[in-house]
Structure 1
Amino acid sequence: MSKRRQPSPSHPTTHHGDPERSFEPYKKAVILGLRWSNDDLDLVKPQAALLETFRIQCGFETASLVIPSTSSEEALNAISQTILELRQKYDMDRECTCHMATLFVIHYIGHGVSETEWEFDICGTRRPDAVRIPWSSIYIGMKSDVLILIDTSYSGNFLQPCHSLQRILQNNDHHAEYLFSTGNEISDQNGPTYDKNNNFTTRLTDLLYSVSPTPVTVAQLHEALCTQANDPSTKLRYTPQYMDCYKPSIIIQHVEKNDYIWKIENTTRKAQIPTGRALISVCILGNTVHGQVKEWQASLSTMDSDVTIEGVFNLQGYSLCLLSMPISLWNSFLHPGYNS
């Protein structure tokens, strides 16, 4: 069974439970929107709505870049220069402390391509000759907390199935917290899963409105988005994914800016967002004996009362144990062997 990672006591955020207890507001929070100049899905409106939501509801500074599609070099240079300017403008290279912490968010919306399990490229169209750049080549290099939001109509090499984006990101980046989705615009018997009018970005935008002005962790946002996706009436045919960065989950807080003073509102109010549970299967060598399951449940309860043993099945030489827990709690565990 996995061991729960203990957050750094100096970090200004928390992972699971009540985020209000240890939350210190960020001194500055900035979101950068990235999309391509040759975007063939017309994604300008959903991204603009998300940036505006972060600005109005959460007090973020916003910036956007239309990535040039003339060459890979020009595209990467434009992104690097924009990030550098934002780092300098908003002093994002300062060491993170409780009272001086800053937050940098990148939102990318557009196509994604994977041809190996180690690389994920972004591009503006599905054309085989489209300019594209590796996501891993985008250098952020700042000392602020970093959150990456990716909304991609994702495919393989446009001919083969895609590799797991979660595994690719785990192989390449442990310095940012990720919340992302990989819908597919290629039609199957039920039509395409990616809908520009009902996608990860639009769902996140609506969710940020619904939870304001409540402090909420990114892990809790993921839990809410998963719960919504599991409802057939939402017609969202894919499940958003989450990846942490060995830190407690970042907290998003509604703020009001009056006379250049950041004011935190309703910091004691509980988050009223959809919650869901993950069902985890664990194989244990040997068969259980009388009373052992009760001991396991008691031990789990001392760690977190929200973890429940749903059933244990004795099989040939091992026991299959089914556990359930909140999705946001599952996100706080080390789980290198888990693939969603």
Structure 2
Amino acid sequence: MRTSKTPDSFQAQQARKRLNQFSTDLETAINHATKFNPYRKTAVIAFHWENDDIGVQTLERELLDVFKSVYGFETESFTIPLIESQFRLLEHLVSWSRRNSGEDTLRIFVYSGHAGFGGTVASCWDLAGRCNQNTGNLQGPKLNWWAVRDYLEQYTGEVCYLFDCCSAGSGALGAYNGAEFMAASTWDQTAVLNVHFSFTRILIDELRQLNGQAETLAGIYARIFRYAQQNQIGAAPIHIPKLNSPSVTIGRSRTRPVTRSVSQESYRVLLSIKVQEEIPPDFTQWKEWLARNIPASVLSAEVTIEGAFQGSSLLLFTVPIEIWTMIPANDPSYTFIGHVKSHNLLSQRLAQTSMLTSTLPMHSSAPSGRENQPPRSPDRKLFSGPGR
């Protein structure tokens, strides 16, 4: 029987955390999302198919040019041949990884093309240069990316992947070692066919706006996600961090970090957590309780408690996207609720009402909010068509 209720809703006892553990988790996520670590050397390799039927080479060249001319990275391109495709790609990527390994180095792998639909129980994930647009089936030579990937993280240095294809989130499934991963779509989603609205196009635009200034990959993902609707990107991108590790830094070595500015109109992530401590019933006690248990460094990072409930010890809170994406996804204490563009409006109204009541008969008015921010880039016409 189908139901909208999650399995967790039938569990009386759910995973709980002490509030100091909650604070530690948030502090760690903040540090992992915002700590800049420019590398001594960053190298980028992009690869596509010899029989590519999308025309990805133009955008690939533009992306590599940005990495080389704006960021000063070493870049290289490889065309996957139609004969011995998997072996030839593996051979080239392993040789390239060996040459670009070492302490304080970052290797970036970029793929553009077609991919089959993977999944959590699949034994392989295939990439190809051609696809039947009616059936979605891959055509021509294919290769199993998971069999290639396992060899690339054996060398010293940090690794991250940027994949623009259908079912791109499958790149982080299988026997995954955990290198950082950002891609065009989830494992069961199609990417847009038109390159003008693709993940690579938006990534290039964001990198040009940063203009070589340092930003973590988590921060770049957040920038792309916040403006995905405005940029009319074909599918919502996905970011999967390396477990228990800071997000890699994209930027020229030792450059000054970009100033972080998050509009009040930007997307935030609403989460819930159950804590072990009993929440005080009195509002004044509640504020004092928060001040004692949650460090100012966490609250100043735009982590906001949106709601609290007696009995269940349930807290609702919002965080910026770059902090949310660095919270471990396998921690059962946290539950994703949704993306929002404001804080709890009802609690704000109640607080204003309480203030007005306590100050009567004096006249008072609520403070005005900021005006909406103007579009950060020209609108693109919406494209509707088959995915990759």
Whether these two folds match at TM > 0.5 is: yes
2:32 aligned with 1:15, yes or no?
A: yes
Equivalent of residue 126 in structure 2, options 99, 103, 121: 121
- Per-residue displacement from partner, 1:208-264 (whole Å, max 9, x unpaired)? 1101232111110011011011xx332124221111113111111135xxxxxxxx4
Matched, 1:321 2:315: yes
Cα deviation, residue 15, structure 1: 2.0
Q: Is 1:144 equivalent to 2:157 in the alignment? A: yes
Q: After alignment, is 325-334 or 273-282 more displaced?
A: 273-282
Q: Confirm or deny that 1:277 pairs with 2:280.
A: no
Rounded to whole Å, the distance in 1 between the matches of 2:159 and 2:317 is 31
Q: Which residue of 1 aligns with 2:91?
A: 81
1:206, distance to aligned residue in structure 2 (A): 0.8
Question: Could you tell me which residue of structure 1 aligns to residue 144 of structure 2?
Answer: 134
Corresponding residue for 1:162? none
* 1:56 counterpart (43, 51, 69): 69
- Residue identity matched to 1:238: A
Kindly indicate whether the alpha-carbon contact (under 8 Å) linking 2:43 and 2:73 is maintained by their aligned counterparts in 1: yes
Query: Percent identical across equivalent pairs?
Result: 23
Go from structure 1 to structure 2 and tell me whether the alpha carbon gap of 1:118 and 1:313 turns closer, same or farther (over 3 Å shift). Answer: same
Hey, which of these two has a bigger chunk of strand by percent?
A: 1
Q: CA deviation at 1:170?
A: 4.9
Change (3 A) 1:75 1:322: same
What is the distance in 1 between the residues matched to 2:258 and 2:49? 39
Structure 1 residue 88, shift from structure 2 partner:
3.7
- Does 2:245 correspond to 1:254? no
Contact 1:212/1:254 (8 A) holds in 2: no
Shifted more, 269-278 versus 35-44: the winner is: 269-278
- In 2, the alpha carbon distance for the partners of 1:179 and 1:269 equals 20
Looking at structure 1, the residues matched to 199 and 57 of structure 2 have their Cα atoms a distance apart, in angstroms, of 14
CA RMSD of aligned residues (A): 3.3
Q: Structure 1: any 5+ residue segments left out of the alignment? A: 8-13, 156-164, 256-263
What amino acid does structure 2 have at the position aligned with 1:177?
A: E
**Is there any run of 5+ residues in structure 2 with no aligned partner, and where?**
1-16, 339-388
How far 1:131 moved relative to its partner?
2.5
- More displaced stretch, 57-66 vs 274-283: 274-283
Instruction: Check the 8 A contact 2:119/2:173 in 1, yes or no.
Output: no
- 2-structure distance, mates of 1:69, 1:303: 54
TM-score by length of 1: 0.74
C-alpha distance 107-114 of structure 1, shift in aligned 2 (>3 A): same
Secondary structure at the residue paired with 2:227? helix
Counterpart residue number, 1:290:
281
The alignment status of 1:182 with 2:185, answered yes or no, reads: yes
TM-aligned CA distance change 1:67 to 1:6, over 3 Å:
farther
SS at match of 1:174: coil
Give the aligned residue type for 1:205: I
Q: 1:307 to 1:169 in 2, by over 3 A?
A: same
TM-score (norm 2): 0.66
Change in Cα spacing, 1:250 to 1:115, as seen in structure 2 (3 Å) is closer
Distance 1:116 1:213 in 2: 36
Letter in 2 for 1:235: Q
| Number of matched pairs | 293
Q: CA deviation at 1:294?
A: 3.5
Q: Select 1:239's aligned residue among 236, 239, 242.
A: 236
1:31 partnered with 2:44: yes
